[in-house]
Amino acid sequence: MTIEPGIVCGACDWLNKIDRSTCEDCNSNLILYPETEMQTHASRDTGDRSPEPLKIIEVKRSGNMPEEAEGKPMEQARHFVCSSCYSPVPSGHKFCGKCGTATDNPAGRTPEFFGEMQTPGKAKLILIKGEGMDGISYHLNSTEHFVGRMEGAILFTEDKWLSPKHSNFFYRDDCLEIRDEGSLNGVYVCFRKEATVKDGAMFLAGEQVFKVERVAPYNDDPADDGTYFFSSPRNEPSFRVVQVLEGGGYGMIVHAKDGKVEIGREGGDMNFPNDPFISSKHLRVEITNNVLKLIDLGSKNGTYLKISGEKALAHGDYLFIGKQLLRVEITN
């Protein structure tokens, strides 16, 4: 690193060589006291006092900075003004380039960083989307970390879908896990590719909440007098997918055809064209060998399965707690 003295133009902030009298960028006068002004100052002096010397600014340049970029002022420099002559002072300069007044430029101070460091082997949560503080992180360096609307170390007081004490992040055998603390709406974790589910499992896709239910065989027995009920032909579905509305009511209900139900924005069995977060072909619910599965079809925003009790978490996992979307990051 080399240190080269120079003069900063008070009109355009251009850094000029020390021997220049005019700015090489805007041609403004760089002399602190022009000749006529020097004579005026001299005529007013009654003693041997001489005009104040020109202040020279030392600018540090890194050796790998491109030549065409050297000396050009940063945009944030225009936000600080000299208190004496009201000229702009570039960030990091200790003196005004026009009048030489020492500055108290806060942009030139060495920044002081503070905050809790992430402990190796421990996790932190990044708020991806939530209560107006997107990007904030929560370090999980203790043994338990309760989340809720009213109780716990991590609070989201404005989220009306959170229970007062909703869930708990904790460590077991040095692995991060989450436990649902009996909340009303539960915890949803994004799964990778596919997940095996049980009867009554709930999941999220886009802004929609769904429930998968097994269907009991239809009763085809005749009435007491031996007469069969007259009806349309039907397939024998093994399960159905139910859209769960706010308040717990049921919306759209689709019974499986050929052992599957496809969900998306268009072209599926359950379509939601006005949902901006659901993909065109988002996921498929299917049954194979009497086992229910959720299969994500490469959706952009993923599919989230409601956990039952406790679940281990890994680096990069996404989860919904109430309306808060969080990402897990674990250091090595």
**Percentage of the chain lying above the pLDDT 70 cut:** 77
Those residues whose C-beta lies under 8 Å from the C-beta of residue 150, and which sit 6 or more positions away, are: 157, 164, 165
CB 73 within 8 A of CB 48: no
Torsion of CA 153, 157, 161, 164, to 10 degrees: 50
Pairing verdict, β 144-148 and 154-155: parallel
Pairing verdict, β 318-321 and 324-330: antiparallel
Q: Please, what is the average pLDDT of the chain?
A: 82
At 95-120, the pLDDT tens digits run 777 777 777 655 444 444 444 566 78
| 20-24, 223-227, 322-326: range with lowest mean pLDDT | 20-24
153-to-12, 141, 157, 201 alpha-carbon distances in Å: 51, 12, 12, 29
At 56-77, the pLDDT tens digits run 445 444 444 444 444 444 344 3
H helices, E strands: number in the chain: 1, 23
At 172-216, the pLDDT tens digits run 999 999 999 999 999 999 998 999 999 999 999 999 999 999 998
Predicted pLDDT at 217: 78
Q: What is the pTM of this model?
A: 0.63
At 135-175, the pLDDT tens digits run 899 999 999 999 999 999 999 999 999 999 999 999 999 99
User: Token match 């009435």: residue?
Assistant: 223
| 84-93, 225-234, 246-255: range with lowest mean pLDDT | 84-93
**Percentage of the chain lying above the pLDDT 90 cut:** 55
